[in-house]
Structure 1
Amino acid sequence: MLLLSSAPADAQYFGRNKVQYDRFAFSILQTPHFDIYYYASEHDAARIAAQLAERWYARLSVTLDHKFARRQPVILYASHSHFAQTSIIPQMIGDGIGGFTDHFAGRVVLPFAAGLGETDHVLGHEIVHAFQRDILRQRGRSLAMLPLWFAEGMAEYLSVRELDANTRMWLRDSADADKLPTIAQLDDPRWFPYRYGQALWDFLAAKYGETTIVKALESRANGGAIGRLKDATGKDAATLSKEWHEFIRVATAARSARSDKSEADKNDARLTRIIGPEQNGGRMNVAPSISPDGRYVVFLSERDGYSVDVFLADAATGTVVRKLLSTAADAHFDSLQFIESAGAWDPKGRRFALATLRDGHPELTIFDMPDGEVRQELAVPGVDQIFSPTWSPSGAELAFSALKGGVTDLFAIDVATGHLRELTTDAYSDLQPSWSPDGQRLVFATDRFSSSLSRLSFGRYELAILDLATLMVHPLGGRSSGKNIDPHWSPDGASVYFVSDAGGISNLHRVDVATGQVAQVTDVA
């Protein structure tokens, strides 16, 4: 199972029952090693996924020195809302679950993600589980008996093959606080098993070779997962933990130099946390959106413990003014899509738009602000999932990114009439649009300049500008390394602010639209 966030599961679907709104007529696409189950609306994307699955098989069959005895079933859904309705397992599937592998029948089940690159990652992660299951079953063992840090960490390592910026963030914070877990402590759920498990397998592969993975899987040693590691490496848990900690400290120590440090340092002095676990929020506080006058912030949180809800707070103090929406209180709302989306204020600060799922179907929920009454529920037929709406300067339209048939494109909808325009139509990932102050352009994050659809290689996110009159896309750039996401225009339209993890740490940056010159605005360690 691939978990996309560490949000508490009980807060996502407290008191809810699984509902099936749609019936899917699956067809089967057979490849040499997989039976790909898909339905008509995802036909083209399913053929891409079939190629990705075979590529993963070619890699993993060599790394793990194992071949399937029969074709592996892979069941694809066009969106997370469809995936959440699956009857393969009875449990509720929260927003944070990106896919799973059925331990009993061996079925790999996943939705298309917001971008083929992420779909490729999740597919690879779950196919690792299929290999793990097959290898262990041949030796009379069960994958379900292995701890998450062992099984999920291995799957994440083999599907990523590096310590990515997100994992490095977890490790760096632990190392800086001198609170790195030992291997024996990884069974404690306080240590996120996906990130720390990935880091452990990255260390083991670097120090002892990738054959350690096969040895650990095939081991019949006593002592559980730690016994397997001792058998595979010849080292006890204490020695491995000491070596692993040193590996982490070296891997997270380097920081890239900046030439614009003075501006970032000046802004860092002004940073003040207003919402946190012990300060107006819960353990998870995400998707903040500031009102145009700077008085209010809308954010999503599980602060009340029952579900992920929408709150309006004072932007200066973080004090919560009111709850705008609760998925626990209104059973018609299935999801607020807190993993990949955020809401948006209209230019006058009188309305707030949020992408939601209602009775299994995507819609835009519009609130009157600041009183928080639901003003309009705007259905968006023809798309499977909506992300990150943005208002036009006139307030007449909303642009957003949406999944349709397994790929992510940009759309705009007339708020009064519901007329929908498709702005991009290709298999590249187009996310997080922001409408320019003059109303003529959208800036967004995309992998179209770093990816190759013919080679099915998926690169990092860069910034692009869409001319709304011609629908032509032009590169804006961003940092030359790392991903560049979440762009927002300056009020005068001369600059775009965005987040980049160049150098391994996510910080705020600014790009001059005319010259392309980039400056770092914050230096959050």
Structure 2
Amino acid sequence: MKLFFTKIVLIAILFMPSSVFPQMFGQNKVRHQLKWQVLYTPHFRIYFYNKSEFLTNFVAAVAESSYASLSRELNYKLANPIPIVFYKSHADFEETTVSPQIQPESTGGFTEMLRDRVVIPYEGSWEELRHVIHHELTHAVTREFFYGGRFGAAFSGISKLRWPLWFAEGLAEYESLGWNANAAMYVRDAIIFNYLSPIPDLRGYMVYKGGQSIYNYLQNRYGREKIREILWKVNSDRNVVKGFEDALNQSLTEFSDQWHTYEETLWWPEIKRRTETPNYAQKLSNHLKWQNAINNSPSLSPNGEEIAFLSNKGYYFDIYLMSSTNGKIIKKLVSGQRNKELEEMHFLKPGIAWSPDGKFIAFAAKGNYRDKLYILNVRKSKIVNKYDFHLDGLYSPAWSPDGKKIAFSGFKDGLSDIYVFHLDTKSLTKATNDIFSDASPTWAPDSKTIAFVSDRQQYIYPDHKPPKDFKVYDFNYRYTNIYTVSIDGAVMRQITDTPYINDKSPAWSKDGRDIAFVSDRNGIFNIYLKDLEKDTTWVMSNLLTGADQLSWISDLHRLAFTSYYHGGYDIYLKRDFIAEKDRHPKLTPIPTNNEIHSKISPEDLNKNVPFVVQNIRRMSNAFRSFVFDEDFKNGNVPQWKLPNPL
């Protein structure tokens, strides 16, 4: 699960003397020299740098498509182009001088509201990038809608019109995602455990997902045009609460009560239809007792007796070893986030892999600017090897059953693929090598084939490769299926084929006959089992809130997974996994609304307004307060025209 936080730079910071900024912006940040260029589209100035041209094309198309959707929604046209600062990796994004803060892993992008600058990174997924672009542009466009287009308008505007976070973040999530299984999970859990606050009191992550459900309720009850009416009323009244009340002809308190009743009516009946996670499997971690939020990435040891997992139970994200019998913590294996060597532990895209002899684990983490692959001696709790492949991102390692290879998902210059590291020769090869987003590898028992998650749909090797004129932004990359590929990339097979559904987290049985995976086919992420020989699929759970991140020791019938339940993520163990066959023949669906937003290609944009800059020196002036490099400071930023589209 990906988290998107919008950062607002305080007015006080912007009024500090300029001599303060180099100290603030450089503190604890690695500063790499990047050669910036600028791409002009009809409504955006997109700043990018070397080796990200490939991605910038996609950003341009999605930004214009998102703006077209937002413009229709608001019935509003931008007065000024919006600057987008684009980074081709999260590591580069963390260096940004647009904000004095170091951007943590949980920040998928931000909008600097006072100057209306959008800053976003690519993190290996087309859909994640599309989401963050649309989310942040919702903030940027509504910022101009409410405060005006002139530079500095927000200085005076914010004092007259303040946005509650539920109002702003809920709108951005709903505009960029519609209603989906992830949002439903959070709201359903909040209703069942009675922690969904009244609208004015929404806090934390519920300003995103609770706010998203508010707009979903508005559309379901009044129609989508009511959202536009509310936004225009807020603009004219210069007050969010009054704008809501005028548009709905009732108090915000009354509306909040009705929203609560709607959600309760929707979700309370689900308790009888579903199984609560602790009633399905043994709960091993305890976020309530530990007073933390995230325990995830479970990985069963080869003998099934121990589980390595990632947790922030000690405030920082660390890797622990627990007993699979009773959940007792045996020891801490890795202390993360305390030094430059292990700056980030990738809790949003985790993965821990045991060596087949049970002596080592492999994990990915960011250290000294780049993601690396680490090998740890479990008995000694000591890192014995680390490998830097100079990738822009590295996630989810998986150790082959023969002990000779480690597969992982990685991306470089916009290409997200499955890599194979050969331990004997220390060589790195690719199992996939194309434009699609590939992730979450897991090995077949023969150590020759890998199952993985991808958005590629029907494009599989060797017979169905994308055509030369293939364009990602015209392709439905929003949903994923399970595939297998030989380690040399020669042979690929599609395992699941579910349009408008997300299948993910594959785990292979030891005999090679079955693949367990997670899917939101009924609107909740449940566990499924695919019989590869018979080509049949079994529903293995009917959970109330869902499951993710499977680790399966099939000959012991043990399946570890993580589940969000009662306000946090915990590790669970299912001891009789295969016995679930035939228990859940068909799952009743819950309401979802996964909308496909319209897309506009750069060719369509070019018909009227060319991608060209008339005066880059003049247009760079607004950016002098954050200096990318000397060329940028002096206005020597070259224009860039679109190459052949993706």
What SS does the corresponding residue of 1:420 show, helix, strand or coil?
strand
**Corresponding position: 1:496 with 2:515:** yes
Q: 2:530 aligns with which of 505, 511, 517?
A: 511
Q: Distance in 2 between matches of 1:405 and 1:238?
A: 49
Question: Is 211-220 or 67-76 further displaced after alignment?
Answer: 211-220
Query: In 2, Cα distance between the equivalents of 1:518 and 1:294?
Result: 25
Alpha-carbon contact 2:43-2:80 (below 8 Å) kept: yes
Give the 3-state SS of the residue equivalent to 1:171 in structure 2: helix
Aligned to 2:429: 421
Mapping of 1:140-159 within 5 angstroms? 141-142=157-158, 145-159=162-176
CA distance in 2, matches of 1:168, 1:270: 20
Check whether the contact 2:124–2:393 (CA below 8 A) recurs between aligned residues: no
- Cα distance change, pair 242–450 in 1 and its aligned pair in 2 (3 A): farther
Match of 1:51 in 2: 61
Could you tell me how far apart the structure 2 residues matched to 1:507 and 1:234 are?
A: 41
Whether 1:298 and 2:308 are equivalent positions in the alignment is yes
**Deviation sequence 1:450-504 (CA, Å, 0-9, x none):** 7973614323111101022453321001666631111011011110111112212
Report what 1:368 is aligned to: 377
Q: Distance in 1 between matches of 2:5 and 2:298?
A: 17
Using a 3 Å threshold, how does the CA distance of structure 1 residues 17 and 301 change in structure 2: closer, same or farther? farther
2:183 to 145, 148, 167: 167
3-state SS of 2:142 partner? helix
Q: Does 1:395 align with 2:414?
A: no
**CA–CA separation in structure 1 for the residues paired with 2:214 and 2:117:** 27
Contact kept, 8 Å, 1:255 with 1:503, in 2: the verdict is no
Aligned partner letter, 1:197: G
Cα-to-partner distance string for 1:210-231 (whole Å, 9 max, x where unaligned): 3433343342577953222112
TM superposition shift of 1:181: 2.3
Instruction: Report which stretch shifted further, 288-297 or 313-322.
Output: 313-322
- Letter of the structure 1 residue corresponding to residue 219 of structure 2: A
* Pair 1:522–1:23, CA change in 2 (3 A): same
> Take 2:137 and 2:448, find their aligned partners in 1: how far apart are those partners?
44
Q: Give the share of equivalent positions with the same residue, in percent.
A: 28
| Alignment partner of 1:81 is 2:91 | yes
Whole-angstrom CA distance in 2 between matches of 1:158 and 1:338 = 26
Aligned to 1:3: 3
What CA RMSD, in Å, does the superposition of the two structures yield over aligned residues?
2.8
Q: Which residue of 1 aligns with 2:320?
A: 311
* Match in the other structure for 2:457: 449
Map 1:8-27; keep pairs closer than 5 Å. 18-27=28-37
CA–CA distance in 1 between the matches of 2:336 and 2:302? 26
Letter in 1 for 2:99: I
Q: Is the 8 A contact 1:450 1:458 kept in 2?
A: no
**1:236 is matched with which residue?**
251
User: Partner letter of residue 176 of structure 2?
Assistant: S
SS at match of 2:282: coil
Corresponding position of 2:140: 130
Taking a change above 3 Å as real, the CA distance of residues 74 and 487 of structure 1, as seen in their structure-2 partners, is same
Amino acid at match of 2:193: A
Deviations 1:27-53 (A, max 9, x none): 111111111111222211111111111
- Partners of 1:444 and 1:256 in 2: how far apart? 33
Aligned partner letter, 1:72: I
Contact persistence 1:283–1:302 (CA under 8 A): yes
Q: CA offset at residue 280 of structure 1? A: 5.7
1:60 Cα offset (Å): 0.9
Question: What's the secondary structure of 2:42's corresponding residue?
Answer: coil
> Number of residues paired by the alignment?
505
Partner Cα separation in structure 1 for residue 271 and residue 291 of structure 2: 33
Residues in 1 aligned to 2:240 and 2:490: alpha-carbon distance in whole angstroms: 54
Task: Give 2:441's aligned residue.
Answer: 433
Which shifted more, 338-347 or 123-132? 338-347
Could you tell me which of 201, 207, 213 is aligned with 1:199?
213
Tell whether the 8 Å contact from 1:363 to 1:386 is kept in structure 2 after alignment.
Answer: yes
Q: Residues of 1 paired with 2:82 and 2:486: CA distance?
A: 44
* Residue 183 in structure 1 maps to residue 199 in structure 2: yes
Matches within 5 A, 1:18-37: 18-37=28-47
Which residue pairs with 1:12 in the alignment? none
For 1:248, the equivalent position in structure 2 comes to 263
If asked which structure has higher relative contact order (CA below 8 Å, sep 6+), I would say 2
In structure 2, what is the Cα distance between the partners aligned to 1:323 and 1:349?
A: 16
In 2, the alpha carbon distance for the partners of 1:283 and 1:66 equals 40
Equivalent-residue separation in structure 1 for 2:84 and 2:255 (angstroms): 36
Deviations 1:103-138 (A, max 9, x none): 122111111133101110110000101111101212
The structure-2 alpha-carbon separation of the partners of 1:281 and 1:142, relative to structure 1 and needing over 3 Å to count, comes to: closer
Task: Tell me the secondary structure at the aligned position of residue 477 of structure 1.
Answer: coil
Structure 2 CA distance for aligned equivalents of residues 268 and 203 of structure 1: 30
- The whole-number CA distance in structure 1 between the counterparts of 2:81 and 2:494 is 42
CA contact (8 A) 2:300 2:307 kept: yes
Q: 1:223 to 1:274 in 2, by over 3 A?
A: farther
What is the CA-CA distance between 1:169 and the residue it aligns to? 0.8
Unaligned runs of 5+ in 1: 7-15
Q: 1:418 to 1:68 in 2, by over 3 A?
A: farther
Secondary structure, aligned partner of 1:3: coil
Partner Cα separation in structure 2 for residue 17 and residue 373 of structure 1: 30
Q: Deviations over 1:166-201 (max 9, x none)?
A: 111112122233443222322x44x62100001111
Instruction: Give secondary structure in 1 for the equivalent of 2:326.
Output: coil
The answer for unaligned runs of 5 or more in structure 2 is: 7-25, 460-470, 545-646
Distance in 2 between the 1:443 and 1:5 partners?
Answer: 32
CA distance in 2 between counterparts of 1:502 and 1:387 reads: 25
Instruction: Rate the CA distance shift 1:483–1:338 in 2: closer, same or farther, 3 A.
Output: same
Q: Does the CA-based 8 Å contact 1:350-1:369 persist in structure 2?
A: yes
- State the Cα distance separating 1:522 from its structure 2 match: 2.2
Amino acid of the residue matched to residue 524 of structure 2?
A: I
2:329 is the alignment partner of 1:320: yes
Q: Matches of 1:4 and 1:313 in 2, distance apart?
A: 31
Partner of 1:10: none
Bigger CA radius of gyration: 2
Cα 1:275–1:102 change in 2 (3 A) is same
Following superposition, the deviation at residue 141 of structure 1 comes to 2.5
Return the alpha-carbon distance in structure 2 between the equivalents of residues 334 and 152 of structure 1.
28
Letter in 2 for 1:176: I
The corresponding residue for 1:356 is 365
Does residue 485 (structure 1) correspond to residue 488 (structure 2)? The answer is: no
Does structure 2 retain, via aligned residues, the 8 Å contact 1:5–1:339? Answer: no
- Judging changes above 3 Å, is the alpha-carbon distance between structure 1 residues 479 and 372 closer, same or farther for their aligned structure 2 residues? farther
- Residues 232, 309 of structure 1: alpha-carbon distance in 2 compared, 3 angstrom cutoff: same
Q: Given residue 324 of structure 2, which amino acid in structure 1 is its aligned partner?
A: A
CA distance in 2, matches of 1:311, 1:349: 15
Do the aligned partners of residues 17 and 490 (structure 1) sit closer, same or farther apart at CA in structure 2, a change above 3 Å counting? farther
Distance, in Å, in 2 between the alignment partners of 1:429 and 1:516 is 25
Cα separation, partners in 2 of 1:254 and 1:41, compared to 1, 3 Å: farther
The residue that corresponds to 1:332 in the other structure is: 341
Superposed displacement of residue 247, structure 1: 2.9
Deviation, structure 1 residue 21? 4.7
Separation in 2, partners of 1:483, 1:315: 29
1:411 partnered with 2:413? no
The answer to whether the 8 Å contact 2:4/2:132 transfers is: no
